[in-house]
Amino acid sequence: MSSILVTGGAGYIGSHVAHELVDDGRQVVILDNLSTGVRENMPDEATFVHGDVGDYELVVRLLAEHDVAAVMHFAGNIVVPESVENPLKYYRNNTAATRELLSACVATGVGQFVFSSTAAVYGMPSAEELPVTEETPTAPINPYGASKLMTEWMLRDVDHAHDFRYVALRYFNVAGADPKGRTGQSTPQATHLIKVCSQTALGMRDELSIFGTDYETRDGTCIRDYIHVTDLARVHILALEALERGEESRVLNCGYGHGYTVREVIDAVKRVSEVDFDVVEAPRRAGDPPELIADSTKLREQFGWQPAHDDLDEIVRTALEWEEQT
């Protein structure tokens, strides 16, 4: 049986997808340098290789030795403020490293590729552009978003030049954890709201800060489209299956199509945890759009995707359960 190479498979989303692949009976090879990933979060059935995705010689060897038929690429850095402070790190680890990975794929004839992209490629869409479609202009406002968009451009160009097809998935706000408790959000210094709320409810943080309370939204705080990580992992399996059927390359938004404010998320965490933790108001952070909601019509129509975990309390409950066991 041919294998699927999962880069960054020890990370948050990559480990969830690796478990989904194993559950589906796939042979999985994980490449991760463990700079932020956690080895224990990977499925035991997967073959693990410690290394960098930008190591061309290593990747070429892996693709050949394990008869890899497709690559699912999650490896990279994802912290927006850090990308502003250290942009070259992001262009090296997200863009330049992916260039080496793509070169290895072309050299070995691996022509199916699923890419972990982001809604950050859209930057700060106007209210008139919401919900965001795949045709909304891309205008990233930080190096993280730019590094991901540059990779999308490389994928497009490699598709045109070689026997190569891809699906780029633009994530909105991913949250929650595996309902079976096998993996979850373990990224050090993670800034995800639901994770931070959960840690505050469990006493791991003293208080929670709301950054900006004067936005033109229903309660003055930012609105985001939260998608449960298990629903997102299933999208990756559907993307892989589409490529295996010989379908064309595409870019798809991954979200539920509706959002919650920061205050609504806080209320949900307090409700589910039954803890009334401290919340303080802080100034806006630069670059935070007031609202970011996905139009996922294409995803639903093209893949027949139906989310199974579209419930804020369920997302929060799985996040809390993961924090409690780690």
By annotation, the residues acting in catalysis are: 144
Separation between Cα atoms, residue 175 and residue 291, nearest integer Å: 17
For residues 110 and 63, the answer to whether their CB atoms sit within 8 Å is yes
Strands 260-261 and 223-224: antiparallel
Strand-pairing partners, residue 228, are 175
Residues 6+ apart with CB under 8 A from 75: 7, 8, 11, 14, 31, 32, 33, 53, 93, 97
At 301, which amino acid appears? E
Q: How many helices (H) and strands (E) does the chain have?
A: 11, 14
Which residues are 171's β-sheet partners? 118, 254
The residue count for the chain: 326
Considering only CA atoms, which of 165, 166, 14, 167 is closest in space to residue 5? 14
| Angle at the Cα of 180 from the Cα atoms of 175 and 186, rounded to 5 degrees | 45
Cα separation, 231 vs 84, in Å, equals 30
Give the helix ranges, DSSP H, for the chain: 12-23, 56-65, 80-85, 87-90, 97-108, 143-161, 193-201, 229-244, 262-273, 297-303, 312-325
